[in-house]
Chains A and B, each alone.
Chain A
Amino acid sequence: GAGVSQTPSNKVTEKGKYVELRCDPISGHTALYWYRQSLGQGPEFLIYFQGTGAADDSGLPNDRFFAVRPEGSVSTLKIQRTERGDSAVYLCASSFEGLDTDTQYFGPGTRLTVL
């Protein structure tokens, strides 16, 4: 079956601009996660959705970052007033129920470059 998909695969923007990154999870997965991976580092947790609600947003670095999942499937990560330090690969993952034993399946990521 289809895996997690993310669009765009690459996004180049200028400092101060607004960007949206999209994630389409595996069909039937109720849990969705966003992570950020900086160069040479492991992924770092940003936010977790269970259904339509953000159950844990403790990883969002500041209020420029926001994410939605209005219908409990596709999610959009939104970054306002982008800064050069936001440059990273943004990874989305989904799992069946969000249990701590569930396997998370990752998408290919969106590489964001802020000039």
Chain B
Amino acid sequence: AQSVAQPEDQVNVAEGNPLTVKCTYSVSGNPYLFWYVQYPNRGLQFLLKYITGDNLVKGSYGFEAEFNKSQTSFHLKKPSALVSDSALYFCAVSAWGLTGGGNKLTFGTGTQLKVEL
């Protein structure tokens, strides 16, 4: 069975500083990894995904993520944080369903990012 761990419940960073939100995963087979962001009372918005190829993936709003196979990690990064980046971030891994196919996502518990002036 696949799993995702987000070891930090909350990350605090000053505006303008770089940010990192950590994610590690466990999956049999090829890992397909996703980051989503959730603003209060709203659904999840897709940020980026890793399927194959370059280990550094670039996504929306200046975010990027680095896939590290040996460390089974997929950390989310941004060079310069904005106050508007404050939200709840979820890492997820896709696993081909055992019955009938389809990529059901397994999510981590989320990391609350707080960017302060």
Interface residue ranges, A against B (CB under 8 Å): 4, 6, 31, 33, 35, 40-45, 48, 50, 55-56, 58-59, 91, 93, 95, 98-109
User: B31 CB to closest chain A CB, in angstroms?
Assistant: 10
Are A91 and B102 within 8 A (Cβ)? no
Q: Chain B residues with Cβ under 8 A from A98's Cβ?
A: 101-103
* B-side interface mostly: strand
> 5 tightest CB-CB pairs across the interface, nearest first?
A42-B107, A55-B100, A100-B103, A48-B102, A106-B43
B43 touches A100 (CB 8 A): no
Q: Are A56 and B109 in contact (CB under 8 A)?
A: no
Query: B99 interface residue, CB < 8 Å from A?
Result: yes
Interface range on chain B: under 10, 10 to 19, 20 to 34, or 35 or more? Answer: 20 to 34
Spot the interface stretch: B13-21, B67-75, B77-85, B90-98. B90-98
Which of B34, B49, B104 sits near A45, CB closer than 8 Å? B104
Interface residues, chain B, with chain A CB atoms under 8 Å away: 4, 32, 34, 36, 41-46, 49, 51, 90, 92, 94-110
- Smallest Cβ-Cβ distance to A58: which chain B residue: B99
Contact A101/B107 with A4-B43, A42-B90, A43-B44 known, Cβ cut-off 8 Å: no
- Among A41, A56, A104, the residue within 8 A (CB) of B100 is A56
Closest to B44 in A: A106
Whether B94 contacts A100 by the Cβ 8 Å rule is yes
Other than A103-B49, A104-B34, give 12 A-B pairs with Cβ distance below 8 A.
Answer: A6-B43, A31-B102, A42-B90, A50-B100, A56-B97, A100-B95, A102-B103, A103-B46, A104-B46, A104-B103, A109-B42, A109-B43
Give A41 to B111 CA distance when docked, in angstroms.
10
